[in-house]
Structure 1
Amino acid sequence: MSYTGVLLVDKPRGPSSHQVAAWVGDMLKSEVGHSGTLDPMVSGVLVVMLGKAVRLAPLLLLHEKEYVACLRLHADIPREHVEAAVKEFTGRVYQRPPRRSAVKRALRIRVIHRIELLDMQDRLVLIRVRCEAGTYIRSLCVHIGRILGCGSQMIELRRTKSGGFSVENTHTLHEVRDAVENGDEEKILSMILPPEEAIADIPKLIVRPSAADAVSHGAVLAGVGVIRCDKFVRGQSVAVVTEEGRLVALAQGLRDSEKFVCGEPGLIARSTRVFLSPTRSNKQY
């Protein structure tokens, strides 16, 4: 059986994200991809895409992330000083990828939406960070130590959320393996989320069946085929879905939503990733 959807894996420490995704692909005999690479010694939410859901990668890679990190200070610092230093990193921050990173060490700007001190014992500090994709938590931990004037380093990191996907909804590799070895198809299907779960936070264009079929054949979506839509601007990523909530395609808006009327002529969006099979039958994927 070929699977399409999203499997949330609780990545263990040790293997790389690529290895974990490859193991899932081997077990489920499916094409796979993953969004948001985790270093080998980092654990937590790894979003593994199966089958046609691999086409969701450009969208999922942009998801905000949440982490819980433990860092060690190199000197004894009062808790109130640490709390004050941590709060300074809310907002836009400048970062350079760590030396061990595989990407070019160019200076970049990332946004930290929320950061809080969860606990502190002696020189060990536990923080939770909600941040823009591509934020280096290891670098953040080093910079906190610099602000405090004592130095610090990250010693443990766990991703707790990726977009709207939480670690509470993940499955271990052992769970996947057991379901496969037991031939428990119902269990396997219960672990795989439909592609629609990944588009909860982007604008949607609800389209007629004829428009859905046209888009699946590569046509540019016109206003006559749109029943209703969320607010979006030109160039923004949108999801084209049926009235039943099935994902037809990811697309790029060609006009601001305020500049057209649903049901009237005019090109609205151009698909970038198509999920609906190009047929007028009831087959969806």
Structure 2
Amino acid sequence: MAEWYVRQESETNPDFGSIPEKRSVEELLEKGMVLIDKPFGPTSNQVSTWIKEELDLKKTGHFGTLDPNATGVLPVGLNSGTRINDALAKADKEYIFEAETEEAKDKQEVKEALKSFRGVNKQVPPEKSAVKREEREREVYDIELLEVEDRKILGRVECESGFYVRVLIDQLGEKLDTEASMKELRRTREGDITEDETSTLQDVVDAYHFYNEGREKEIREVLHPIEKGIQHLKKIAVKDSAVNAVANGADLGSTGISKLQDGIKEDDMVAVITLKGELVALAEARMTSEQMYSAEGTAAELQSVHMDPETYPKRWKQ
């Protein structure tokens, strides 16, 4: 858990903005997200489209594609909530996979083979992928063998976004001198969102129907503010007096910072938030945490603004 450091004590005015979790259902439907436990069968796009139609939305978009035969964590942005795609789709992922080999292999041999994938891996995306088939490098942060039973292998992998587990299994077969194929794949985490937080498609549709009948309890359990999708990013909280400038597209100056998290490196994607926890903008750090704490200058350059500029009043001199 990242630690917070206070650059300058500041209070937030309750008359402006709102705590994300206390937004109205209407606001969450306009700029929020649902966390779907994707079922086996449909594509990620089909799941997204189905939510759009069932919830009477203008636009939806999923963050991080899952194959039709894969299940698990699939965040879906609602209306303008789709605009945080860059932050969440590129987040680290965790998967549980089941592979099957043509020949039964010794448990210790499989364990050592899997361990060898820890670190940076070279992969060529599979033929059915939507991206260009060029060799690229992706990191595996952790990988472990959960179980071996005859020719079946159950494993877990934590990896960088864009890592293909299907390719991993092909390469595992090569290391074990046999053929290996993927039988099941489940995404258990994306960024800081885990499978325990997801809802089924039916849960979401039922909750929306109850909402149309005047009940909010169920839909509040499945709707989330967009801030849910930036939990994994390092954050910089700005003073109320700086919010309007940033929401109008101004790069963040260090003097506008009230507090910040440790571990920020130059060029990191960071979330610029209010003292109430509202996402103002996504930005690219131009200083480290240490520099932001004490130096003057541009702390972060904006990539995208996610707050209406009228939310907080102007506080800077023209």
Same fold? TM cut 0.5: yes
Residue ranges of structure 2 left out of the alignment (5+ in a row)? 1-25, 314-318
Task: Output the CA distance in 1 between the equivalents of 2:156 and 2:101.
Answer: 16
TM-score scaled by length of structure 2: 0.83
Task: Output the CA distance in 1 between the equivalents of 2:173 and 2:45.
Answer: 31
Matched, 1:243 2:275: yes
Aligned counterpart in structure 1 of residue 47 of structure 2, from 1, 9, 20: 20
Which consecutive segments of 4 or more residues in structure 1 shift more than 4 A? none
Partner of 2:288: 256
Give the percent of matched residue pairs that are identical in Structure 1 and Structure 2. Answer: 37
Task: Output the CA distance in 1 between the equivalents of 2:283 and 2:299.
Answer: 10
Closer, same or farther in 2 for the Cα pair 1:261/1:85, shift >3 Å? Answer: closer
Query: In structure 2, the residue corresponding to 1:102 is in which secondary structure?
Result: coil
Matched, 1:145 2:173: yes
Matched, 1:274 2:305: yes
How many residue pairs align between the two structures?
A: 281
Partner of 1:6: 33
TM-score scaled by length of structure 1: 0.92
The amino acid across from 1:238 in the alignment is: V
Matched, 1:99 2:127: yes
Aligned counterpart in structure 1 of residue 242 of structure 2, from 199, 203, 211: 211
1:107-186 aligned at under 5 Å gives the runs 107-182=135-210, 183=212, 184-186=215-217
Closer, same or farther in 2 for the Cα pair 1:109/1:265, shift >3 Å? Answer: closer
Once the two structures are superposed, residues 166-224 of structure 1 have per-residue CA deviations (whole angstroms, 9 ceiling, x without a partner) of 11111011111111223343311221222222222322222111210111122222223
Task: Output the CA distance in 2 between the equivalents of 1:188 and 1:156.
Answer: 31
CA RMSD for the aligned pairs?
1.9
Closer, same or farther in 2 for the Cα pair 1:170/1:219, shift >3 Å? Answer: same
Task: Output the CA distance in 1 between the equivalents of 2:312 and 2:291.
Answer: 33
Once the two structures are superposed, residues 3-57 of structure 1 have per-residue CA deviations (whole angstroms, 9 ceiling, x without a partner) of 1222110111111101101111222233221111011111111011123321211
CA contact (8 A) 2:286 2:300 kept: yes
Q: Give the superposition deviation at 1:162.
A: 0.7
Matched, 1:44 2:72: yes
Query: In structure 2, the residue corresponding to 1:252 is in which secondary structure?
Result: strand
Partner of 1:220: 251
Closer, same or farther in 2 for the Cα pair 1:87/1:261, shift >3 Å? Answer: closer
More off after superposition, 10-19 vs 248-257? 248-257
Residue ranges of structure 1 left out of the alignment (5+ in a row)? none
Flag the structure with more relative contact order, 1 or 2, with Cα contacts below 8 A and sequence separation at least 6.
Answer: 2
Closer, same or farther in 2 for the Cα pair 1:120/1:257, shift >3 Å? Answer: closer
